[in-house]
Structure 1
């Protein structure tokens, strides 16, 4: 380097630092690129994305190539800086050049380019992939040799570079991605997708209409009463039973009932002939599974039974869809539930038979949902006894008071606002 002028050495040193910054930014940009967006762009035939995806198929070769290039330019820069230091400062220039070059490389070839690449990975990775692919072809023998040595060392500790870990997301991780999507997805879309992911964790028992609330008709009632109930039925399908609901006969579609009511000769035998077979659902069936079964069996309604075959409730396709998209309503703003009455002081009067999951959704509470399905059942489980008088208690941080008890059942509960603990400031 004695024949090269000092100014030329400074130019060479500057170019080497820039090359070092290029390799550093390329490594960070390609490695931090969003793999799912990359796969989407590959499917869209994006050429730059296809180049990056091809390089990432063998990350050992990519990293080997980048590190070979980075180390070459850094060592060359060190040699040039040493020569410049000795020319300008003599032997003391070696020490000065070492510290000065370390600072320059750290700022201009490491921290700055890597930070930029981490913030804008696609803008760095896509153009740099052109040069990297060309360099890989030129330096392929060197890269393969280095990889052969390093891969051999990795195999000694039981690691195979060919076995690339698949970048798959668990349900919880996917929910985090949805929640962190921000303005990219509307809030209602985020809620719907999150609800779909939660269908596996919710069973038909959690959303069913309890057996004591099923709107059904006893076929052994007086014929005039049956006709009146069919005429005033508010549901598309009505359950018929004999004496008790466990002896269910089947469902009658309101359309079929109205058609029969227009005929002159309409009696119980003709009504029973129009009844449709009952579709039974085990109470432990997840909503995700039941949604598929409804689709496969072309059913929209079923009776939920326990392990002994006793009827526990009723569930419809609409109930499952409401878990995903929210309650269906004909008004622009859904009406408050009949089971909830908000008082002026902020407390809430709640029907004891209210479903805990529905209360959590409507009131944005966080009552435990594992175990009893109703608020009454939750209180009884907490107390390990059926209260006989009014009393106060606290569940999951929510103060509440049992207001009314009837026939060994909690009818009304008063839930007070959830108070968060305030930190006490030191005087």
Structure 2
């Protein structure tokens, strides 16, 4: 006996083959109807919608901007590399030469284990251990990139701008997260911890942090009348739904979007502003 879910998928398959569904909106309507009738779970609905959206998104929509990319110098010593790997928590890094536009290749952190596991008689040579880099334009579609990641078995690509310089980088995890949602690793903090202090006076703050929790933690008095969460206040300050790496100053803080999709903000990085920076920010916002 067939299940309701299987029957629904067969209906969608027949509708697609017969070309009854002429637009993506019609297909999304059928998908949402299935979710309302509890044929599909919310998580399944999110993945289906994400799969459809990936074909319309480009690398520029999700890439890690150049300014935020953690790069290694081709001349870095092993001890310097260890410090950067530990501090960043990343497993892959672009390797640059004279400047950030001179990308030489990709370095895998696990290759440091091979070096330290030997007697280290030979001097460390980055050029011998780094892998070839993959270079892609900002305009490449995400579904095409995902297919290339799978066939080439690479997990990172360098994004170049129209002048051939490094615009940023993108990983296979960035693409998959557009389909299945955020993938947390051992370097992410728990959902229950809304505010997590970092180095140099920065804090990572979940966008869903209740404003009263934020006020209590930082001993401030942000307005709770119109919005319930910090993310809501940030969107209001921007005047639009911001993308990753966009930033805004208000209420005595610098807010930078660390994670976001085309539906909502997920994670923020914030830092208190000095008094003169606060006055400048308020002046700019009032202009």
The answer as to whether partners of 1:231 and 1:258 remain within 8 angstroms in 2 is no
> Residues 267 and 229 of structure 1: is their aligned pair in 2 closer, same or farther, counting only changes over 3 Å?
farther
| Aligned residues: CA RMSD | 3.6
Structure with greater helix percent: 1
**Runs of 4+ with >4 A deviation:** 230-233, 330-337, 339-342
Q: Which residues in structure 2 correspond to 1:58-69 (within 5 Å)? A: none
Q: How far apart are residue 361 of structure 1 and its match?
A: 2.3
Q: Which residues in structure 2 correspond to 1:138-177 (within 5 Å)? A: 166-177=19-30
> Residues 334 and 249 of structure 1: is their aligned pair in 2 closer, same or farther, counting only changes over 3 Å?
farther
What does residue 216 of structure 1 align with? 71
> Residues 392 and 359 of structure 1: is their aligned pair in 2 closer, same or farther, counting only changes over 3 Å?
farther
The answer as to whether partners of 2:85 and 2:91 remain within 8 angstroms in 1 is no
> Residues 35 and 243 of structure 1: is their aligned pair in 2 closer, same or farther, counting only changes over 3 Å?
closer
- Structure 1, unpaired ranges of 5+: 1-33, 41-164, 364-373, 375-386, 394-400, 403-427
Q: What TM-score comes out, normalization by structure 2 length?
A: 0.63
What does residue 200 of structure 1 align with? 55
Q: How many residue pairs are counted as aligned between the two chains? A: 216
Q: How far apart are residue 187 of structure 1 and its match?
A: 0.8
Aligned counterpart for 1:308 among listed residues 146, 163, 170: 163
Question: Which of 1 and 2 has greater Rg?
Answer: 1
Structure with greater strand percent: 2
What does residue 282 of structure 2 align with? 390
The answer as to whether partners of 2:115 and 2:124 remain within 8 angstroms in 1 is no
The answer as to whether partners of 2:70 and 2:94 remain within 8 angstroms in 1 is yes
Q: How far apart are residue 199 of structure 1 and its match?
A: 0.7
> Residues 243 and 339 of structure 1: is their aligned pair in 2 closer, same or farther, counting only changes over 3 Å?
farther
Distance 2:180 2:124 in 1: 39
Structure number with the bigger relative contact order (C-alpha 8 A, sep ≥ 6) is 2
What does residue 11 of structure 2 align with? 37
> Residues 336 and 251 of structure 1: is their aligned pair in 2 closer, same or farther, counting only changes over 3 Å?
farther
> Residues 266 and 209 of structure 1: is their aligned pair in 2 closer, same or farther, counting only changes over 3 Å?
farther
What does residue 293 of structure 1 align with? 148
- Structure 2, unpaired ranges of 5+: 1-7, 196-203, 213-223, 235-246, 249-255, 269-278
What does residue 264 of structure 2 align with? 361
Q: How far apart are residue 277 of structure 1 and its match?
A: 0.4
Distance 2:123 2:261 in 1: 40
